[in-house]
Every structure is written in structure tokens, then in C-alpha cells.
């Protein structure tokens, strides 16, 4: 019987470590989100829109790391719940800006004390120095490590009908579909 040699990689699996760290942190916030009837993706959007008055869907995708097809459904549910409103851009009726409703702002205000208490508990476990170092390190990573452009395989993926479309074309088609659905 021939022994298989295992490949040894010199570096630890950084993407997996970051995913595990994210899961560990979000597990402390998930009970608050569940108790308030809001999903993690919806909360990411609320948090982003608390910082700026309104964003276009493509900007929400970038800021909140939500795919365009997923975002369409999340925003539709948030509209049904009365958490966001979508308004056409005055100078370009094809574009939409998404903003929080007073109901979403009230929800965020109700959740804020619990969210802040959770951050304080995490900081108490990690210590203020480590907490600050983690934030600074992640900020530095994001500022320094540029994303690679998508590969050709990423850019042309078959759709549900087997037709290969570029990501830009898929985005336009997705936006057109959302506009028609309204």
C-alpha cells in the first residue's frame, strides 16, 4: 500500500480564521437580533444606514458584503416590515436610494443599549487594549490589502438557463428585474 503524502502549507488558513472569529463574535449579538425579529443581513443594512442618510443598492452590497441577488430579497422584506423606503434618484429615475424609516430608527434605538452592553462584555473578556488592537488591525488590513479583480471565471457565470453573463450584465439584469417587480 502506497502512503499518500500530505501537502503542508506554511501559513494558517487566514480566511477560515476570520470566518471563525466572525462567527464567535456574532454569536454574542444573534440573541438580540432574534429577540427583535431582525436578521443579521438586515441589521448590517440598518447599521450602514444609521451612518449615512441613504445608499444605492450597489453601495449597500459593497458596504454590507451582501450579494446583489440576496440584497433584492432582503430589501423587499425590509420594505414589507416598514424598515426601509426606496426612492428614485431625482436626476436619474433608473437609480434608487434606500433609507431607513422612522420605525427602523426606533428599532435601532431600542436595541442600542443591548448592543452596547454586548460590546462592553466582549471588551471585558478581551480587555480594552486587545479590543482596540483588533479593530486597528482589521482597519489596517482593509486599508492595505486591496481586493483582487474577479477572474474571468468569476466574471462569466452561467445563469439559471445556462447562459453565460458577465457580473456587470448580471447586475444590470438583476436591477432591471427588481425595477420591474416594483
In this prediction, residue 13 carries a pLDDT of: 95
Q: How confident is the model at residue 170, as a pLDDT?
A: 60
Of how many residues is the chain composed?
182
Average pLDDT, integer, range 136-162: 78
Q: Is residue 160 part of a domain?
A: no
Nearest to 88 by CA among 17, 19, 169, 175: 175
- Give mean pLDDT, residues 70-97: 93
Let me know if residue 3 belongs to a domain.
Answer: no
Assess whether pLDDT exceeds 50 at residue 85. yes
Is 27 inside a domain boundary?
A: yes
pLDDT for res 94: 85
| Cβ–Cβ < 8 Å for 89, 96 | yes
Report how far apart, in Å, the C-alpha atoms of 90 and of each of 53, 100, 182 are: 16, 18, 17
- Flag whether 92 is in a domain: yes
Tell me if 81 is assigned to some domain.
yes
Angle at 33 between CA 124 and CA 48, to 5 degrees: 85
Q: Residue 52 is part of which domain span?
A: 15-139+171-181
Is the four-CA dihedral 85, 89, 93, 96 of positive or negative sign?
negative
What is the average per-residue pLDDT within 144-164?
68
Q: Which residue has the cell 425595477?
A: 179
* SS3 of residue 182 by DSSP: coil
Distance CA 33, CA 41 (A): 10
pTM: 0.76
Per the structure, the count of domains in the chain is 1
What number is the average pLDDT over the span 142-149? 92
Mean pLDDT of 18-22: 97
Structural domain contains residue 110: yes
Q: DSSP string covering 17-64, please?
A: HHHHHHHHHHHHHHHHHHHTT--HHHHHHHHHHHHSS-B-HHHHHHHH
Give the pLDDT of residue 172: 58
**CATH number, domain containing residue 92:** 1.10.10.10
Q: Tell me what the mean pLDDT of segment 158-168 comes to.
A: 56
Between CA 1 and CA 4 the distance in angstroms is: 9
- Cite the DSSP H helix spans in 36-166: 40-51, 57-64, 68-80, 102-126, 128-144, 152-155
Whether residue 149 is contained in a domain is answered as no
Question: Does 6 score more than 90 pLDDT?
Answer: no
Tell whether 94 is covered by a domain. yes
Asked whether residue 152 carries a pLDDT value surpassing 70, the answer given is no
Amino acid at each position: 500500500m502506497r502512503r499518500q503524502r500530505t501537502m503542508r502549507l506554511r501559513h494558517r488558513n487566514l480566511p477560515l480564521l476570520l470566518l471563525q472569529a466572525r462567527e464567535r463574535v456574532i454569536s454574542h449579538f444573534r440573541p438580540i437580533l432574534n429577540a427583535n425579529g431582525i436578521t443579521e443581513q438586515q441589521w448590517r443594512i440598518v447599521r450602514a444606514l444609521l451612518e449615512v442618510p441613504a445608499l444605492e443598492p450597489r453601495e449597500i452590497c459593497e458596504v454590507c458584503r451582501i450579494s446583489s441577488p440576496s440584497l433584492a430579497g432582503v430589501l423587499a422584506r425590509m420594505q414589507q416590515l416598514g424598515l426601509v423606503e426606496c426612492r428614485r434618484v431625482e436626476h436619474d429615475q433608473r437609480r434608487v436610494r434606500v433609507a431607513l424609516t422612522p420605525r427602523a430608527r426606533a428599532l435601532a434605538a431600542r436595541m442600542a443599549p443591548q448592543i452596547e452592553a454586548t460590546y462592553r462584555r466582549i471588551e471585558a473578556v478581551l480587555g480594552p487594549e486587545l479590543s482596540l488592537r483588533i479593530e486597528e488591525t482589521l482597519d489596517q488590513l482593509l486599508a492595505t490589502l486591496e481586493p483582487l479583480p474577479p477572474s474571468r471565471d468569476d466574471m462569466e457565470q452561467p445563469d439559471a438557463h445556462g447562459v453565460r453573463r458577465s457580473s456587470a450584465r448580471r447586475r444590470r439584469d438583476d436591477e432591471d428585474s427588481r425595477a420591474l417587480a416594483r
